[in-house]
Amino acid sequence: MRIVIDTNIVFSAILNTNSKIAGIILQPKTQFNFYATEQLYAEIKEHKDKIKKLTRYSELELDRIIQLITNKINFINIKLIPKHIYNNAEILTKDIDIDDTEFVALTDHIKGKLWSGDKELRKDLSIKKWNKFITTEELYKVMIRKK
């Protein structure tokens, strides 16, 4: 199953490595293929000091956790997404949150599901008939069934 993983999900996993979210990402033999664009790295870097402060991790600990989680994600260069797919995602997200454009575009490009904790994004995109989300609970159920 192809899953585009939104930044807020990765932040949740970093903030609580014992959470259900982290467990889904870090499971050793997974049936999920996680994807993101390089925007995820940029957002982690942008908020790294805040994450460090919240978690009280040392610089080394935080770097190791970030690496552990991001190693489970296939990073796709945004230039590989066809322009028409990207443009459609931009139209969908421009009045919601333009920062989500790459995640929506990548989801369409790989014909996957978007894993995001952003309830507003989910609500607003579903109004626009874009319903390609998957929840933590849905992923967890799939993970448990496959074990």
Query: Residue 136 belongs to what domain range?
Result: 2-146
B/e letters for 56-93, b = 16+ CB within 10 Å, e = fewer, are: ebeeeebeebbeebbebbeebeeeebeeeebebbeebb
Q: How far apart are CA 104 and CA 31, in angstroms?
A: 21
> How many structural domains are present in the chain?
1
**Digit-coded pLDDT (tens) for 18-53:** 999 999 999 888 889 999 999 999 999 999 999 999
CATH number, residue 18: 3.40.50.1010
Residues 6+ away with beta carbon under 8 Å from 102: 37, 39, 78, 81, 89
pLDDT value at residue 147: 56
Which has more pLDDT, 147 or 81? 81
Is 98 within 8 Å of 90 (Cβ atoms)? yes
**Digit-coded pLDDT (tens) for 76-113:** 999 999 999 999 999 999 999 889 999 999 999 999 99
